[in-house]
Structure 1
Amino acid sequence: MRLSITVALAISLTVLLGVTAIDIPPQSVPTRIVSTKGPLFVDELGRSRIFRGTNVVYKGAPWHPDISPDALPRWSFNQDDIDILASHGVTAIRLGIMWPGVEPVRGQYNYTYLEVMKTIVQRCSNAGIYVLLDFHQDGLSEKFCGEGVPLWAAQPAQSPLNLLGFPVPIEARPYKLQENGVPTPEDCAKHYYDKLQFTYAAGTAYQRLYDNHDGLRDSFANYWKLVAQTFFPFKNILGYDLINEPWAGNVVSNPGLLVPGIADRMNLQGFYDVIATAIRSVDPNAMIFFESVTWDNFVVGFDHAPGGTQYASKSVLSFHHYQPPQLFNLNATFVERSLDMLRLQSGGMLTEFEMGWKKGENIEYIRDVSRLADKFFFSYTGWEYTDYIPITGTNNGLRDPETGLVRPDMAEVYSRTYATAIAGIPLSMSSEDKTGLFTLTFFSDGTSNPTEIRVNSPRHYPSGYSVAVQSTSAAFRVLQPNEGAKDGFIHVVREQAGRAGAKVTVTVSRA
């Protein structure tokens, strides 16, 4: 790779190449995320952080992908997969930490499963990838043609209507059940899972979880407490996503729960407070990700972040964008969620959107999402890395699940240039896909901590790149390889710590 460096300072400050090397956090030891500031995360060095990545969710037994070296691409998330993601600019994954994997029998925890998940998190840490641990559910349970809670925790109410069986009232006749109480795949294929959440069985089972029937909420809190204890030592844990796409509850008996915002207030807010308290009992600084029902298009119904206002800066409104249920485009969603974040004083992150390959037809949409995320400084994890268990909504993207080869068009959009760590407050960030021109402007925080820009030279700068740094005051420079700079990163550092507020513009262009 040929690298050309130009440092142009607005006040003609001299660039000193022989100063003491800056202490750069090793890529293998990520800095812990400690709070949020709007859409930005803040690490323990005080830097603004932005993440780009994908979802890794295994929706069936054994509830984790194959991590062995010889795993088939269809089922794998081994070192090869992690290396592929890291080399294409991925700095975060949303990893399904599945309750049936942790607690298949009530009160009996599967520590072998947790060891597998720890291996994945450690390998990600070594590659500089952060991990958002996600209780992933769609449709609550296999009993209702979805996935989520263990079979023992899916407890529909025993009432005359429910005695008719699942999926009443979607169908008049009940499905035939297998020995484990789960419908056959053939019956489940008759309806998409989201429609089946309107059944009395699924709705009352959700409601019983929220209401702590038979101690189910307590069991869920204990599951999350164990997860937090297990992963507390890892600095690359981005946070804990309490429940993916929560359903409103028993909408058959209480259809008012379908009104946007009502289920958030009536069912989810108190539920989240309890779960967040359990997690924070073992990790007081945990970043808690919380979701509304998926159809809150204009405003979410919460009046505080999980645990109360004192934890707002350590709480992240996790939201998705699909049309439907979203009525408007992503720009409108970003505006709406930004207003929610301002009201709640919380952070926010786009944790799902349509990021599948779809035979190359989705590439421009992914580019559009990335451009908007740059504009608003939102982090994201798209759906999904690959379709391990093809139920309840699936995608595959960067890597072909049959051949294991990286798809070149997906590689282009995955590896767009962006700043993942900024020593200050960003003002603007953009990356022009056709020309490769990247521009970042920020106010310096006055420290000598490195600003880190992810760059993929083979994909976007095959003949090398030039970096220009301009500042209204203070001297900045780009680190050289002999000073700790790493392939795939551009490190911009301030020569000497001093007063905050210098306006800095960094541009990366093709040589």
Structure 2
Amino acid sequence: MTSRPAPHPRRLVGAVLLAWVLVLAACTGDDDADGPDEGEATTTTSVADPGAEGTGEGEGGPGRLRVSRESERPAVVDEQGREVLLRGANLNSLGDYFQANLLLPPTRPPTDEDWDQMAAAGFSVVRLLVSWSALEPTRGQVDLGYLQRIQQAVDAAEARGMHTVIDMHQDAWGKAIASPPDVRCPAGTEPAIGWDGAPAWATLTDGADTCRPVGSREGAPAVKAAFAAFYENRDGIRDAFAATWRVLASTFAQDPAVAGYDLLNEPNVVADAPTSTRQYTELVTSVIAQVRAGEAEAGGFPHIVFLEPMVLFPLPGTMPADGAVADDQVVFAPHNYAEVIGPEIPTVEQTFDVAAQAAEERGWPLWIGEHGVFSTDAEDLAVLRRFAAAQDDHLAGGAQWQWRQWCGDPHSVGTPGATPTAPQVQLNTVLCPDDVDTGPTPEILQVASRAYPRAAPGRLTELASDPAARTLTVEGRIVDDLATGGDLVLWVPGEGRPTIEGDGLGEPTIDQVPGGWDVAVPVTDSPYRVELR
């Protein structure tokens, strides 16, 4: 195995706090940018010195990633120029969700066992959900305790060899759009439960109705009004959002364990296609500009931007204007719940093809930010296996939704006043209503933890795996003028020592680790082929 760099020191909190004071004061129109007034709160908690090194026990963390366009197919590559597949899970433990039942917390902190189990599943990435409402609960004031929790999660993943994609998550805009308890909704609609995302001070609805069409999470007029105000930058709230990203990017500017940033989860479409295209273009370009400014002022490097389309993709108006995103460190990060959520047409494979075509047209690598099934029924597991085959076929990474879903999660609650009783089946299963964690879900984890190449010299050309048979076929080629250092690195699950055969290969190094095997194979010729049994 190749050695990994040591965890990178975090920036000092004082510098981060100063950035908040300067940047957020500008967004709120505060002329006094020298610092907070005496007695004025700037944080709800103190934070430990992030100048200390990462907390992991391992020899180091994963290295810096970037997008390479030095061949006919763009790809995420590591410092040695090898193509990298980021595969792992979504983790919502830091999400600031509405709590409908005081006895059922919507999330719980991740444990060391959680991190160890993710690593033992062969995951190379965690898509870490964070919330604007928790970062900036009061306008212009940062919760440094929450920022510390983000840092601790990045450190925990890094200590186990996993990158982190920091995802600014939202569902149905935010917690503040829950219907009041006494609301009575017209026939065909129902009260909205609270979700997650924006702080209350950035929720501008002009008193719009919170009742939603039955079964529609995002359909309340209040959700649409809040998004419309955001896109049009009423009261400077879009600028404030971008400023939040600037500080977050400044904090992790020098950190190679952070693969990059997912700017906004599943942004809503609330206007006609031309208006929506303009709105989303303005949002994306303004946030990327602030991310890059934050990285530059901290002396860091440009991290990857994981750019989602708006919901209802691929309909018109769900992408930024063609050519408007000039940044060269962008990965296309749509979600693929085909045949799981919504109508069964298009299929998983058709949805993959459409996403891949959109990525190719923009010159962006493809990464599926969310996918998954929510039961172990034979039909759902068949869909999951087909997704895995399509993902391999498209040489794509991704993050499964999600590591664990507690009974108090709004996804579990569903409707106001409801107490979930069905098991919440994700990569782990939780029994409701008592919030009993029964541990990993073997049928789902078998597919999510299947064998794959974590890093491949040059470019991958073919990839196929069979989760049940624990087989893997990898083909690749060295690309002229690209760095060719480093081994082909494979993850192989299970207890039995794998057998490696192929062409263009040197003698492999096979190391047993918790959950499976790390395999490093020198590549001696191009093209090369590996067959693992």
Relative to the length of structure 2, the TM-score reads 0.73
Are 2:82 and 1:47 equivalent residues in the alignment? yes
Match of 1:336 in 2: 354
Shift of 1:398: 2.3
Flag the 1:60–1:372 CA change in 2: closer, same or farther, 3 A. closer
SS in 1 for 2:239: helix
Distance 1:325 1:245 in 2: 18
Distance 2:334 2:285 in 1: 18
Are 2:484 and 1:505 equivalent residues in the alignment? no
Are 2:223 and 1:202 equivalent residues in the alignment? yes
Shift of 1:480: 5.2
Match of 1:397 in 2: 426
Flag the 1:480–1:347 CA change in 2: closer, same or farther, 3 A. closer
Equivalent of residue 258 in structure 2, options 237, 245, 251:
237
Match of 1:352 in 2: 370
Q: Residues 97 and 195 of structure 2 are in contact (CA less than 8 Å); yes or no, is this contact kept in structure 1?
A: no
Q: Residues 53 and 92 of structure 1 are in contact (CA less than 8 Å); yes or no, is this contact kept in structure 2?
A: yes
Shift of 1:352: 1.1
One-letter amino acid of the structure 2 residue matched with residue 147 of structure 1: D
Match of 1:478 in 2: 508
Q: Deviations over 1:190-232 (max 9, x none)?
A: 6542222xx1x32222111111111101110111111111222
Shift of 1:120: 0.7
Flag the 1:106–1:326 CA change in 2: closer, same or farther, 3 A. farther
Flag the 1:487–1:138 CA change in 2: closer, same or farther, 3 A. closer
Distance 2:532 2:459 in 1: 19
Distance 1:211 1:126 in 2: 41
One-letter amino acid of the structure 2 residue matched with residue 507 of structure 1: E
Aligned length: 428
Flag the 1:400–1:305 CA change in 2: closer, same or farther, 3 A. farther
Distance 1:36 1:327 in 2: 34
Are 2:485 and 1:451 equivalent residues in the alignment? no
Distance 2:96 2:253 in 1: 25
One-letter amino acid of the structure 2 residue matched with residue 82 of structure 1: W
Q: Deviations over 1:30-73 (max 9, x none)?
A: 12111155573112211101121111124864899xxxxxxx99
Are 2:499 and 1:492 equivalent residues in the alignment? no
Q: Residues 425 and 441 of structure 2 are in contact (CA less than 8 Å); yes or no, is this contact kept in structure 1?
A: no
Match of 1:429 in 2: 463
Equivalent of residue 109 in structure 1, options 138, 142, 150:
142
- Contiguous gaps of at least 5 residues in structure 2: 6-58, 100-104, 178-193, 296-300, 414-423, 431-435
Equivalent of residue 387 in structure 1, options 405, 424, 435:
405
One-letter amino acid of the structure 2 residue matched with residue 280 of structure 1: R
Flag the 1:481–1:297 CA change in 2: closer, same or farther, 3 A. closer
Shift of 1:241: 0.8
Distance 1:342 1:451 in 2: 25
Q: Residues 441 and 503 of structure 1 are in contact (CA less than 8 Å); yes or no, is this contact kept in structure 2?
A: yes
Distance 1:226 1:96 in 2: 17
Q: Give aligned-pair identity as a percent.
A: 20
Flag the 1:494–1:349 CA change in 2: closer, same or farther, 3 A. closer
Flag the 1:282–1:391 CA change in 2: closer, same or farther, 3 A. same
Distance 1:206 1:60 in 2: 19
Q: Deviations over 1:451-510 (max 9, x none)?
A: 11111122xxx3x22111312xxx52212559x9x9621101146xxxxx711111111x
Are 2:67 and 1:35 equivalent residues in the alignment? yes
SS in 1 for 2:428: coil
SS in 2 for 1:426: strand
Flag the 1:202–1:23 CA change in 2: closer, same or farther, 3 A. closer
Flag the 1:293–1:361 CA change in 2: closer, same or farther, 3 A. same
Equivalent of residue 210 in structure 2, options 146, 161, 167:
167
Flag the 1:390–1:487 CA change in 2: closer, same or farther, 3 A. closer
One-letter amino acid of the structure 2 residue matched with residue 91 of structure 1: S
Are 2:202 and 1:153 equivalent residues in the alignment? yes
Flag the 1:263–1:59 CA change in 2: closer, same or farther, 3 A. farther
Match of 2:33 in 1: none
Match of 2:331 in 1: 316
Distance 2:478 2:88 in 1: 26
Distance 1:225 1:53 in 2: 26
Q: Residues 106 and 409 of structure 2 are in contact (CA less than 8 Å); yes or no, is this contact kept in structure 1?
A: no
Equivalent of residue 215 in structure 1, options 219, 223, 236:
236
Shift of 1:390: 2.0
Flag the 1:80–1:438 CA change in 2: closer, same or farther, 3 A. same
Are 2:310 and 1:293 equivalent residues in the alignment? yes
Q: Deviations over 1:60-100 (max 9, x none)?
A: 64899xxxxxxx99724121101101101111111111111
SS in 1 for 2:230: helix
SS in 2 for 1:403: strand
One-letter amino acid of the structure 2 residue matched with residue 136 of structure 1: H
Shift of 1:359: 6.0
Q: Residues 469 and 477 of structure 1 are in contact (CA less than 8 Å); yes or no, is this contact kept in structure 2?
A: no
Q: Which moved more, 1:134-143 or 1:400-409?
A: 400-409
Match of 1:407 in 2: 441
Shift of 1:117: 1.2
SS in 1 for 2:334: strand
SS in 2 for 1:54: strand
Relative to the length of structure 1, the TM-score reads 0.76
Q: Which moved more, 1:407-416 or 1:211-220?
A: 407-416
Query: Relative CO higher for 1 or 2, CA cutoff 8 Å, sep ≥ 6?
Result: 1
Flag the 1:282–1:358 CA change in 2: closer, same or farther, 3 A. same
Shift of 1:396: 3.9
Distance 2:86 2:276 in 1: 27
Shift of 1:143: 2.4
Q: Which moved more, 1:375-384 or 1:401-410?
A: 401-410
SS in 1 for 2:351: helix
Distance 1:166 1:267 in 2: 23
Flag the 1:99–1:305 CA change in 2: closer, same or farther, 3 A. farther
Distance 1:263 1:46 in 2: 40
SS in 2 for 1:282: helix
Distance 1:270 1:425 in 2: 34
Distance 1:393 1:373 in 2: 27
Q: Deviations over 1:285-340 (max 9, x none)?
A: 1211222222123665433466x33x1x3112221122427841122122212221
SS in 1 for 2:166: strand
SS in 2 for 1:431: strand
- Contiguous gaps of at least 5 residues in structure 1: 1-21, 65-71, 172-189, 252-256, 496-500
Match of 2:40 in 1: none
